[in-house]
Amino acid sequence: MPLSNGKPVCINHPKIQMGRIPDYYAITKVDKIGDKVNFNLGTGIPLVVFTCPECGYLELYPAVKFNDWHEGRIFVKCKSCASDFLSPIQLDKSSFESANLNNNSFQCPKCNKANSYDKEDMHFK
C-alpha cells in the first residue's frame, strides 16, 4: 500500500520493496443486468502489478500512471531469430539516454538463445 520513494513496499513487510511483474494486466469490466453477470473481456482497466518477493502479496496501480505506458518500453531485437522481446532492463527515456548499457547478456524468450546486447540493439516501442 504505502509508497516509499515512489516504489510500493509490502503491507506485510514494510521494509521490503515490491518488484514489478513485467507487462500489463487488467481488471475486466463486468456488466450486470438483473441477476445476470457478463464478464466483458473487451473492456477494462489496464494495470501495472507489483508483488512482494517474500510473501507474494500483490498490488495494482493503473498503467496510465506509469511513464512506460506513454513513452513505450525497451525492446531488444534477438540476434538469433530477429524477434523483438521485452528487455529485462527497463528505464525511462531520459535515463536511457544517459545510461551505459553495453555487453548485457539477455536470453530470447522465443528461441531461448542468449546473446550479448548493447544500447544500440535496444529501442522503445
Between 16 and 26, whose beta carbon lies closer to Zn ion?
16
| Cell 521490503 belongs to residue | 16
Quick check: 58 binds Zn ion (CB under 5 A)? no
Q: How far is CA 2 from the centre of its chain?
A: 20
* Residue tagged 538469433 (cell numbers): 80
Answer for which of 55, 58, 99, 114 binds Zn ion (CB under 5 A) is 55
Instruction: Judge whether 61 and 78 are in contact, CB under 8 Å.
Output: no
Strand partners, 20: 50
* Interacting residues with Zn ion between 72 and 91 (CB under 5 A): 78, 80-81
User: What is the size of the binding site for Zn ion (CB under 5 A)?
Assistant: 13
110 binds Zn ion (CB under 5 A): yes
111 binds Zn ion (CB under 5 A): yes
